[in-house]
Structure 1
Amino acid sequence: MPLRLLKFGLNKKYPEPRMFRQRDRLKSSYDAVIIGGGGHGLAAAYYLARDYGLTNVAVLEKGYIGGGNTGRNTTIIRSNYLTPEGVKFYDESVRLWQDLSQEFDLNLFYSTRGHFTLAHTDASVRTMRHRAEVNKHFGIDSELVSPQEVQKACPYMDVNCGGNVPVLGALYHAPGSIARHDAVAWGYGRGADLRGVEIHQQTEVLGVEVTGGKVTGVKTSRGHISTPKVLCAVAGSTPRILQMVELRSPIYIHPLQAMVSEPMKPWLDPIIVSGSLHVYVSQTARGELVMGASLDPYELHSTRSTFDFTESLAAHMLELFPMLSHVKVVRQWAGMADMTPDFAPIMGKTQVEGFYLDAGWGTWGFKATPVCGKTMAYTVASDRNHDLIKDFSLSRFINHALVGEKGAASVGH
């Protein structure tokens, strides 16, 4: 442990303030309550305060800040989606990401690496070509590249994959990036706190009161709150919160696991994704490989990790990178992915007046953190869906107007 860090920890008077204040009690009423103290909830609180002057806001988190999916993902940021709705939405998020470190005065370790989505079949090559053309149409830097170009960018990869499923091409997305996920939560949390928003950890929501079709209050483990507006941003706990306001959704919950290797000298600059092998991997600034795969094939509200996942992912990783056979896995974890039938989120107003939803993120919510905060803050403040999220409303499942993003989000990345 560095001596400076040890001195800081033992100092009775800390030379730096806390990231955000620990509030002693809840007030009896707030202009808005946000359920969920992850990236999305904190970002919405931050932009509500910064852009709309709405500071009488409480963020309620039943655990600790960033302890849900914000701290359980693999931090990949991209905008190379398949549908016009998805491409425009995530492109705005990438734009916002690029200025966050300066805005927060906090190093988020945002690093642009380039993103390769590998194609192992002729059908996958056609899909990558389609995605590249959609991306280009909206000004996104994506292109279909050859196996030789993949090999040049990543010389340690076995593009033949042991002869089983050789790489036939890839979608290369130059803006593909990674960031430090916990720092994102801290940055938004500190920014919201400095502007007067109250953040309450260890505060569980037990009920949402609705009278005459309108939100009137929230019951918590620490008392009752009166409020006319509630934003739900709780990922895998969404179905439970929706039951409180008698709403139904097509969301189903699957565990999504990931793991990290021991640190190594830098050798993998780009982000590598393979839908056929169910693998995605990047290397952090500390030298660890952050690896993930597809969803677990069963519905379960759990964050337990399994040996089956580690064994399967390690085998597929070795097909791409056989030289990693001696590398150790140091930890693994799981999150709860709230999936929708069309692999697109559910955002905006609901049938209950004053109840707003930010859910259905499945495996791609981290990259959307800034744009979700911006669009949901606008929606809560104005009681009108932001233009970027109009196509993501809950009502699309009633109106049969699904977005159809599965072709760009069928792997958990």
Structure 2
Amino acid sequence: EVTGFRFDTGKVVGVETSKGFIGARKVGMAAAGHAGQVAEMAGMRLPIESHVLQAFVSEGIKPYMNNVVTFGMGHFYISQSDKGGLVFGGDLDGYNSYAQRGNLPMVEHVIEAGIAMMPGLSRIKVLRSWGGIMDMSMDGSPIIDKTHIDGLYINCGWCYGGFKATPASGWCFAHTIANDAPHRLNAAFRLNRFESGDMIDEPGNGPTPNLH
């Protein structure tokens, strides 16, 4: 577990961890929902908020669907795992939190949306649920960039889509770290865009992270 950073004349030289110090000439920070907390250890305040997103798994049933089905108006998605369980979820809980658990009102909202789309779901038992922490940026787009601290780089603000974009974002992040400059694919995802006003607000929701 990272407990802090070590600097020398304005340059990062490694990270302090619960197992001791790890020296490095360059450090990449990719802490997802805890990005804000980790960045604070380096004296940075990021333009992101952390929100809880719940997911659910049902009892195993016979093959029911072979793809991912989404319901945009109800903010609901569902797919079936290889073990037969239905994996589904919906919207954020709607408030800032680092707790990896959700609240019952959102459970009800998600299940209502699922039953509205597929009434037969009402007869299926839910086995378990959990909450993941989403790092929601102010414009709904990620940040892949070097910071103002020499040798420290950041990859965060992926909102809901980080796990789907991991291969591409990892490649761009590695390029940024190796060359000390962004690749053309992530050149727009600069940290200073929030200061300059060059946001990438594709849905037009404004600086409201829980709406992106």
| TM-score of the two chains, using structure 2 as the length reference | 0.91
CA apart distance, 1:215: 0.7
Query: Within 2, Cα distance between the matches of 1:407 and 1:266?
Result: 39
Question: Quick one: distance in 1 between partners of 2:203 and 2:160?
Answer: 11
| Gap regions ≥5 residues in structure 2 | none
Following TM superposition, by how much is the alpha carbon of 1:216 offset from its aligned partner in structure 2, in angstroms? 1.5
Q: Which residue does the alignment assign to 1:262?
A: 59
Deviations 1:154-196 (A, max 9, x none): xxxxxxxxxxxxxxxxxxxxxxxxxxxxxxxxxxxxxxxxxxx
Q: Which runs of 4+ in 1 moved over 6 A?
A: 407-412
The one-letter code matched in structure 2 to 1:287 is: G
Q: Is the 8 A contact 2:58 2:87 kept in 1?
A: yes
1:99-134 CA distance string (max 9 Å, x none): xxxxxxxxxxxxxxxxxxxxxxxxxxxxxxxxxxxx
Within 2, Cα distance between the matches of 1:406 and 1:281? 23
Percentage of pairs with the same residue: 39
How far 1:411 moved relative to its partner? 7.8
Report what 1:309 is aligned to: 106
Give the match's secondary structure for 2:45: coil
**Amino acid of the structure 2 residue aligned with 1:239:** G
Q: Does 1:299 align with 2:96?
A: yes
CA RMSD of aligned residues (A): 2.0
The structure with the greater share of residues assigned to strand is 2
SS of the equivalent of 1:377 reads helix
Amino acid at match of 2:107: T
Name 2:198's counterpart in structure 1. Answer: 401
Q: Aligned residue pairs: how many?
A: 209
| C-alpha distance in 1 between matches for 2:115 and 2:204 | 25
What amino acid sits opposite 2:39 in the alignment? Answer: L
User: Deviation of residue 407 (structure 1)?
Assistant: 6.4
Deviations 1:207-260 (A, max 9, x none): 112233211221111112222211111111111111122222110111010101
Q: Structure 2 matches for 1:363-402, cutoff 5 A?
A: 363-402=160-199
Match of 2:31 in 1: 234
Distance 1:230 1:380 in 2: 8
Structure showing greater Rg:
1
Shift of 1:262: 1.1
- Residue aligning to 2:125: 328
1:214 aligns with 2:38: no
* 1:249 maps onto 2:46 in alignment: yes
Find out whether 1:351 has 2:130 as its counterpart. Answer: no
Q: Contact (CA 8 Å) 2:51, 2:210: kept in 1 or not?
A: no
Q: Quote the residue 1:163 is aligned against.
A: none
Is the contact made by 1:253 and 1:337 (CA closer than 8 Å) also made in structure 2? yes
Taking the aligned partners of 2:163 and 2:211, their CA distance within structure 1 comes to 15
3-state SS of 2:91 partner: coil
- Structure 1: 5+ residue stretches without partners: 1-203
**CA separation in 1, counterparts of 2:52 and 2:176?**
30
CA distance in 2, matches of 1:406, 1:244: 32
Question: What's the TM-score once normalised by structure 1's chain length?
Answer: 0.48
CA contact (8 A) 1:350 1:357 kept: yes
Match of 1:319 among 116, 121, 140: 116
Aligned residue for 2:168, secondary structure, equals helix
Letter in 2 for 1:330: L
